[in-house]
Structure 1
Amino acid sequence: MLQNFLVPDVLTHNYLVNGFCKSGDLETAKWIIIDMLCRGPSPNCATYNTLMVGYCASNDLDKALDLLSTMSTCAIRPNRVTCNILVHALCNKGLLGEATKLLGEILEDKPESKTANLITSTILMNGYFKNGDISSALAIWEEISKGHRTRDVVAYNVMIHGAGLSLHHSLAYRFVCEMYKKGLMPDVFTYNALLSLLFKEKKTTEACYIHGVMSKMGVPPNIISYRVLIQGLCINGDVDLAKEYLHIMLEDSVLPDIYIWNSLIDGYGRHGDVQQAFYIRDQMVASGIFPNIFTYNALINAIAREGKLVEAHNLKTEMIFHGVYPDVVTYNILIGAACRLRHVHIGLLLHDEMLKKGCHPDIITYTQLLKGFCLIGKVINAEILFDQMISSGLMIDHVPFQIIIKKHWRMGELDKAFENYQIWLRRDK
């Protein structure tokens, strides 16, 4: 264009800035804007908004906020989109005070459109819910009502989901009813929030009914709907029914993601059907999705629960061969299984292996070893380990104290039991 003496307009430059931002090359995007300031055409609000989105996506909120100052210096007034971008980024960082100040600036401005205010308010409500501040979210909701702004489906979805997260289930159901009264039809996000809510209340029958209603209402379930449904059923013990929904997914040409496969594998493993867990794993691989650390941990846990320690270790070797490396959960499962079978020496070898591999033991690791020592009657070793746990700086819960106190009590060593009880009380203060 330049060779033909054609000067690209601001829209062309904006496309370039957007392209570089999407590819993650923010420095080049910034250079284009500097070049625009030097040689023209002058950047507009959309130009800065695009770079602002890029900075927020790369988790560089400071630079995004600096752009706001740059805009003022260049006499470019931020619009509602600018404020929405920054409010969203601030909420994601948990900086709700700063986000509220920005919202105040928007509401003080001469209103351009009610929808823009609603979008910003919705973003802010979502931020408050995520931080557990339901009262502030409801205050903004009431403010929208007083301002005679029409609430849309997205705003209701935020309230339903947020009320569910805050365990105010009756409030969430109230918002669903209110939606219908206002003539707003639930979308897939509404139904997904409802499904999640019902499973939290262990209402599996109602959740399955809602899932069935979705398609009849012209809202086909998406992968999130199936994920919530299958995970919920597995957690509540209805693994066979969850598997039926997996088949429905495949019939509807909705490809399950790894979270759905892992839920079923873990579900069958926890209910003692190891054969079915491995069958699901094989189905997953056949569909082109390869096992990750969660898959292997679920399978190792299933085998270890049956006391098959050799097979569990073989699976650990297999996962390493496939480029998936054991984490602290893997080692804790294996150490726990070894200690339950009174093979504490194997548990200690695994502990040493963890350290060599750079995998740091946690409180669960040491609690399993403590149980093992108590189980085989090595109380002195248990006491040494217990003292190390206390002095290690790890966050110790009540379980290690209960284990060591119970062991001393069974051995008739009431003074030692009471001494450890006193230590427990002092740590809880």
Structure 2
Amino acid sequence: MFFISRLRARENGFYRTFFSKPLSFFTTSVFHLKKTHDHVLDPRVEEDALEEEDRRRSVTDRAYWRRRIHNLCTLRKSPDEALRIIDGLCLRGYRPDSLNLSSVIHSLCDAGRFEEAHRRCLLFVASGFVPDERTCNVIIARLLDSGDPVSTLRVVHRLIGVKREFVPSLTNYNRLINQMCLMCRVRDAHKLVFEMRSRGHRPNVVTYTTLIGGYCEIREIEVAHKLFDEMRACGVRPNCLTLSVLIGGFLKRRDLEVGRKMMEELWGEMKDETDASVKSAAFANLIDSLCREGYFNDVFEIAEDMPQCESVNVEFAYGHMMDSLCRYKRNHGAARIVYIMKCKGLKPISTSYNAIIHGLCKDDGCMRGYQLLEEGSEFGFFPSEYTYKLLVESLCKEHDTGKARNVLELMLRKEGTDRNRIYNIYLRALCVVDNPTEILNVLVSMLQGDCRPDEYTLNTVIDGFCKMGRVDDAMKVLGDMMTGKFCAPDAVTLTTVMCGLLTQGRAEEALDVLNRVMPENGFKPSVVAYNAVMRGLFKLRKGDEAMRVFDQMSKAGVIADNTTYAIIIDGLCVTGQVDTAKRFWDDVIWPSGRHDAYVYSAFLKGLCRFGSLSDACHFLYELADSGAVPNVVCYNIVIDECSRSGLRREAYQIIEEMRKNGQAPDAVTWRILDKLHDSRALAVEGEDINPDSYFKDVQRQALHTESITNEESDFKLIKPKERGYYVTAAFHHITPQRFLINLPRPPCP
């Protein structure tokens, strides 16, 4: 009988050599067709040949169908095709065997279709086919890779129900228990221990350690301690990992005294343990438990005294201490471990040392990180590229370019580094510092070091000058690029220069770059370039010039995108041209179909900015009625305007509409409402409500509401069912003309 290993085909080529010789139909095998440079078989021809061979083969040719299904599942990764063939064969009297089931389940699991794999396995068993015991255990082990122990346990119980003599392996039981404990279903895991005993298995140290860890995780330390005593009574000797897991439970309960006593027992147990991997796992688990519960001083004591003696590799022990401290954001504590190692004449592992510097930079400890880097250079340490990036950026934010330059020079000495990339990272960090001299010095250093600046380098320099407000320096670099001193500029270079010019109010020069310089250098302005120019012109209050640029873009055949329309709507509203923005929406944006939440929010923000709250509300309602999907940001803009105007009822009405349209209030929404309730009290006739109580009801999302509309008075009554009181909410009286923007509404039912 053939047995399919769990090893993947791509990893070891097992399935390629599964059969000792090629299978042939007459004289040529369709499974082992040779493909040479002179002749490549058309896949369609191959498929036709396989289908023809399938029709020719008899159902009784089990060897052929096994290989056929096996190849579909392993080589072609097509479990659906294999299942189709199996279904067709079953209609002709074929009975699947263990190899067929194993091939299909493995293929489905390789594709990540674990749910279907569980379902298919149950269907196979329900149809009366039960594989042999070895295949059953292989399939269970494969299904356990899904991390869904409940579904896998259902398969196990179904197999046991139809095949009483089947006993899952001890390894599979232990994996099931572990996954149940990870889901905090520890009592169900404990029931599996009784089940495995009833089926003839004896729980081993792995079983007990896993179960003890599960009970410690849910803080039932007494039960865990009873299990610890039980395993000794049953003749199962606890190892040092079991003891370490139990110590973690006492530390979780903050019982440090008992935990320290058991630690002394652990050190003696580790001396008697023969398995080095178990000792390392026990030590690592103990350090993780101490750091997780905040007992960092105990970690430092272990680092200084090393009570485990020679039981654990010294480099591994110190390395794990540093890693665990960094994981729990104690980077300075990890640096203290480095100091302890140096006092003992030891050198830290590069990966752990790099993690400490990396964490210090993220926690605003770049100076300490730089100090560690200098000390690490003595034993040949070089940081990773990402850590280098964080360090130089942090040092530049501290305006200490001297130290940042030292880090750059250190990285340039590292073998195998991309020097251009290292320089580019440093130049990008310098953009936050108003130090153009240093930027130019870096360019000179690159040229002197035979490292010619590329387009990205020069674009970074130009962008840095523009952000510093030194557009003239950026123009000089651009001039050098255009005269051939450096590489030629690209579209990004010219777009960056235009943005810098517009930031300085030099709109005519920016338009000259757009209309003359870009075409002369063979660049057709893209939608990104046009968007940048229009954004800059609107910021300069030059709305007419921006609209002319838009017309120019349309004539040039460049298609506007959502960003274009958001810029135009926002710019028109900022410059006070709200009516023009409405017409632009009607005539251009809505017919184009290119609009999203950014465009909606720009329009709503502009309407609210000029006091047109009623128009903003109706625009929001029209969007929802027309099938558009405004997001929570759009609703928050209008709710915030209601808050500024002190209109509590209208704000809650918009929240109700928001929830009806499938949007849930977020943290910003609740902050706006909180600010609304802190504002002036309502002065609306007929109101009899406790605002705090109503706010709490809305924050619970008021899942059940009844609405009654009184058409004569334009009032809306909202009755929360749980409280039993009414709120009278008045709307703004709006003219019959719904809104200047005429959105097509869906037909009435």
TM-score, normalised to structure 2, is 0.33
The size of the alignment, in residue pairs, is 299
Instruction: State the Cα distance separating 1:315 from its structure 2 match.
Output: 1.9
Counterparts of 1:400-411 in structure 2 under 5 Å? 402-406=640-644, 408=645
Query: Which amino acid in the other structure matches residue 160 of structure 1?
Result: Y
| Residues 163 and 427 of structure 1: CA distance in aligned 2, closer, same or farther (over 3 Å) | farther
SS at match of 2:595: coil
Counterparts of 1:311-350 in structure 2 under 5 Å? 311-350=545-584
Instruction: State the Cα distance separating 1:254 from its structure 2 match.
Output: 1.3
CA distance in 2, matches of 1:202, 1:364: 35
From 466, 469, 473, the counterpart of 1:234? 466
CA distance in 2, matches of 1:163, 1:177: 11
Instruction: State the Cα distance separating 1:290 from its structure 2 match.
Output: 1.5
From 591, 598, 621, the counterpart of 1:356? 591
Find the counterpart in structure 1 of residue 477 from structure 2: 245
Counterparts of 1:1-400 in structure 2 under 5 Å? 35=35, 157-161=385-389, 163=391, 177=406, 180=409, 184=413, 187-251=419-483, 252-281=485-514, 282-352=516-586, 353-363=588-598, 365-375=600-610, 377-385=611-619, 392-395=630-633
Q: Is the Cα contact below 8 Å between 2:537 and 2:546 reproduced in 1?
A: yes
Instruction: State the Cα distance separating 1:399 from its structure 2 match.
Output: 5.8
RMSD of aligned alpha carbons:
4.9
CA distance in 2, matches of 1:319, 1:385: 28
What CA deviation, in whole Å up to 9, does each residue of 1:376-411 have, x standing for no partner?
x433223444677998334459765554433x1xxx
| Residues 173 and 34 of structure 1: CA distance in aligned 2, closer, same or farther (over 3 Å) | farther
CA distance in 2, matches of 1:260, 1:328: 23
TM-score, normalised to structure 1, is 0.55
Instruction: State the Cα distance separating 1:356 from its structure 2 match.
Output: 1.9
Instruction: State the Cα distance separating 1:247 from its structure 2 match.
Output: 1.0
Instruction: State the Cα distance separating 1:321 from its structure 2 match.
Output: 2.0
Query: Which amino acid in the other structure matches residue 229 of structure 1?
Result: V
CA distance in 2, matches of 1:200, 1:397: 36
Q: Is the Cα contact below 8 Å between 1:261 and 1:280 reproduced in 2?
A: yes
Q: Is the Cα contact below 8 Å between 1:239 and 1:267 reproduced in 2?
A: yes
Instruction: State the Cα distance separating 1:246 from its structure 2 match.
Output: 0.6
Query: Which amino acid in the other structure matches residue 230 of structure 1?
Result: I
CA distance in 2, matches of 1:427, 1:324: 46
Max Rg structure: 2
Q: Is the Cα contact below 8 Å between 1:163 and 1:169 reproduced in 2?
A: no
CA distance in 2, matches of 1:182, 1:357: 51
Instruction: State the Cα distance separating 1:325 from its structure 2 match.
Output: 1.1
| Residues 162 and 264 of structure 1: CA distance in aligned 2, closer, same or farther (over 3 Å) | same
Identity of aligned residues (%): 18
Q: Is the Cα contact below 8 Å between 2:408 and 2:426 reproduced in 1?
A: no
Instruction: State the Cα distance separating 1:177 from its structure 2 match.
Output: 3.4
Find the counterpart in structure 1 of residue 263 from structure 2: none
What CA deviation, in whole Å up to 9, does each residue of 1:217-266 have, x standing for no partner?
33232222111000111122211211111112223151111111000111
Find the counterpart in structure 2 of residue 29 from structure 1: none
Q: Is the Cα contact below 8 Å between 1:163 and 1:172 reproduced in 2?
A: no
CA distance in 2, matches of 1:400, 1:231: 36
CA distance in 1, matches of 2:638, 2:651: 14
CA distance in 2, matches of 1:305, 1:178: 39
What CA deviation, in whole Å up to 9, does each residue of 1:128-149 have, x standing for no partner?
99xx99xxxxxxxx9xx99xx9
What CA deviation, in whole Å up to 9, does each residue of 1:16-41 have, x standing for no partner?
xxxxxxxxxxxxxxxxx96369x9xx
| Residues 313 and 173 of structure 1: CA distance in aligned 2, closer, same or farther (over 3 Å) | same
Query: Which amino acid in the other structure matches residue 161 of structure 1?
Result: K
What CA deviation, in whole Å up to 9, does each residue of 1:171-203 have, x standing for no partner?
998786367469817822222111111113444
| Residues 374 and 182 of structure 1: CA distance in aligned 2, closer, same or farther (over 3 Å) | closer
Find the counterpart in structure 1 of residue 254 from structure 2: none
CA distance in 2, matches of 1:427, 1:388: 28
Instruction: State the Cα distance separating 1:324 from its structure 2 match.
Output: 1.0
CA distance in 2, matches of 1:367, 1:179: 43
SS at match of 2:559: coil
Q: Is the Cα contact below 8 Å between 1:300 and 1:315 reproduced in 2?
A: yes
CA distance in 1, matches of 2:384, 2:637: 42
Query: Which amino acid in the other structure matches residue 508 of structure 2?
Result: Q
Instruction: State the Cα distance separating 1:269 from its structure 2 match.
Output: 1.5
Higher relative contact order (CA 8 A, sep 6+): 1
Q: Is the Cα contact below 8 Å between 1:204 and 1:233 reproduced in 2?
A: yes
Query: Which amino acid in the other structure matches residue 269 of structure 1?
Result: L
Q: Is the Cα contact below 8 Å between 1:340 and 1:372 reproduced in 2?
A: no
What CA deviation, in whole Å up to 9, does each residue of 1:299-325 have, x standing for no partner?
222333344434322321221222211
SS at match of 2:431: helix
| Residues 405 and 205 of structure 1: CA distance in aligned 2, closer, same or farther (over 3 Å) | farther
Which one is further off, 388-397 or 336-345? 388-397
* Structure with more helix by fraction: 1
CA distance in 2, matches of 1:34, 1:307: 70
Query: Which amino acid in the other structure matches residue 440 of structure 2?
Result: C
Q: Is the Cα contact below 8 Å between 2:573 and 2:581 reproduced in 1?
A: yes
Q: Is the Cα contact below 8 Å between 1:328 and 1:362 reproduced in 2?
A: no
SS at match of 1:200: coil
